[in-house]
Chains A and B, each alone.
Chain A
Amino acid sequence: MSRIVILGAGISGHTVARYLNQWVGKQHEIVVVSPNARWNWIPSNIWVGVGQMTEEQVTFDLAEVYKKTSIDFRQAKGVSIHPEGDASDPRPFVTVEYTLPAKAGQQERIAYDYLVNATGPKLNFGATEGLGPDHGHTVSVCTATHALEANHQLQQQIDAMKRGERRTFVIGTGHGTCTCQGAAFEYIYNVDHVLREAGVRDQARIVWISNEYELGDFGMGGVHIERGGYITNGKTFAESLMVERDIEWIVRAHVKKVEAGKIHYETLDGSFHELPFDFSMLIPPFAGVGLKAYDRAGEDITAKVFAPSGFMKVDADYTARPYAQWSADDWPRTYQSPVYRNLFAVGIAFAPPHLISKPMQSANGTPINPAPPRTGMPSAAMAIAVAKSLRDMLAGAEQPTHQASMARMGAACVASTGSHLLRGTAATMTVFPVVPDYRTYPEYGRDLNLTFGEIGLAGHWMKSLLHYTFIYQAKMKPGWQLLPD
């Protein structure tokens, strides 16, 4: 019997756990380590952040779900990886620290035969002074708890506007190197929607601020779609959505500092600006969670296993090259560590070889470019590939048997507003592949039959369907295996 330890129980970690439990749960031991007691369907946090859903509707208790399976769940956070064991025992192990209240702070050593790092990101609010809900002046929708606080503050602003006051809302990214523009994009439309529903939209100034070169970049260098007899850039689509809702936008911006009621930012031309606000939701940059790695002698090998960003190196080509020489082949396929064959990283935890959007720097040398997105559908696709490879390696395969390169997979983003079935609307966007492949698709790097965007009620129904389907699937209810990931 082998033991597979999965660090993290977000979309990617939980997906690996579900499939391994199904395929090898009776023959092998599966241990899931997560500091969070509850699983969170993060895309629906947007609705929590505007008061259209409760925290309970977007989260569930992980221990209860795992109790129905053979998965051993430990509510703890990973601290260090020891891929060669230590002087007393050559078996690889991880050190974890419990966050479960009854055992809080206790450390434990868990030996493994295979380890999957699915720890997701550290929400790096500290990268920008004054950013974030805990020590700063902005709110967030990155966790369900953050989203609850965001809604609390939003409702206070709505109450003030109902008394006749005017308010400025600023939504977007809180640093020049952020990813996840899609979440902020969806949130700004939901804020606009609830302000209209409350009858106070005309007293609000809503401003988008982001590190994208143009609207609609989303960290993927933008997309081209066929629309109205033309092949047009997603920028047109995104700007149209803003204009239709009377939302202003600022792009090419790095937020340097947030004070109470004032955002300081730098733009790509090297100039500095200030933007007053009453309510601001800014996505933080992401970093690795800070796992350390040690060899058998106890020497720190973190730099060998992890990239400087804290994300884990996998089978990508990390050779530094200029943008023009980037290739789809640079992107990882199996997510196996190049140093240890029994070590994998999926979801946000793996280190991308480079950006997807073109790197840009301000006249002052400040990087202002979005990081690559690797959440949602791509997370699940790479998790399934790793689960299949592990299943086969447990059966004797020498190397990973499955691959899921982001240069060969698609992604969908449905930005939906409102929760009413007939009054909501949504912008639906899909892209294939996520990483442009100019060898296969020389003109735009993408398959235009599978890259599309449209606005309407249908996308809203799609988003609602995805919410209920994925939570049903994640709860591992009967027939979950038949549902698409």
Chain B
Amino acid sequence: MSTPSSTPVNKEPYQQAYYPPKPTGITRFLRTCVLWQLVRFVVINVKMIKLMSKSHTDSQR
């Protein structure tokens, strides 16, 4: 029988932090993986350029 000090405490449910998704280990790894992030950097740049070009295209009457 375990002692009271080693008894696991149930995590309190129904609190603010209980519902939102938390990243898994692989997600956290990919966020800082330089090779994968180099790919994402290119993707983000392409998306930003598309966003900017679309924003400016409409400026010509």
Contacts and interface: CB of A to CB of B under 8 A. Distances in A.
B47 A450 contact: yes
B37 A457 contact: yes
Contacts of A246: 17
Nearest to A461: B41
Contacts of B5: none
Interface stretch (A111-119, A132-140, A342-350, A422-430): A422-430
A242 B54 CA distance: 32
B55 interface: yes
Interface residues of A, number: 40
Nearest to A409: B55
The DSSP consensus for interface residues of chain A is mixed
A405 B58 contact: yes
Contacts of B40: 454, 456, 458
Sort chain B's interface into a size bin. 20 to 34
Interface stretch (A42-50, A262-270, A315-323, A377-385): A377-385
B55 A244 contact: no
B16 A381 contact: no
Interface string B24-61: 00000011101011101101110111111011101111
A239 B22 CA distance: 9
A457 B32 contact: yes
Interface string A454-482: 11111101100000000000000000000
B20 interface: yes
B13 interface: no
B59 A385 contact: yes
Contact of A412 (B34, B48, B56): B48
A314 to B, nearest CB: 15
Nearest to B36: A456
A93 interface: no
B44 A459 contact: yes
Given A240-B21, A410-B52, A456-B30, A248 B16 contact: yes
A401 interface: yes
A425 B32 contact: yes
A452 interface: yes
B8 interface: no
B23 interface: yes
Contacts of B31: 425, 455-457
A389 to B, nearest CB: 9
A240 B20 contact: yes
Contact of B38 (A385, A425, A458, A462): A458
B44 to A, nearest CB: 6
A66 interface: no
For B37, B38, B44, B60, the residue with the greatest tally of chain A CB atoms inside 10 Å of its CB is: B44
Contacts of A248: 16-17
A354 interface: no
A458 B41 contact: yes
B14 interface: no
A159 to B, nearest CB: 29
A462 B45 contact: yes
A236 B56 CA distance: 30
A243 interface: yes
Nearest to A248: B16
Interface of A: 236, 239-240, 242-244, 246, 248-249, 377, 381, 384-385, 388, 401-405, 408-410, 412, 422, 425, 428, 430, 432, 450, 452, 454-459, 461-462, 484-485
Given A458-B43, A484-B49, 10 more contacts: A236-B20, A240-B23, A388-B59, A402-B59, A409-B55, A422-B34, A454-B44, A456-B30, A456-B31, A484-B52
6 contacts: A240-B23, A385-B59, A452-B47, A456-B40, A457-B31, A457-B34
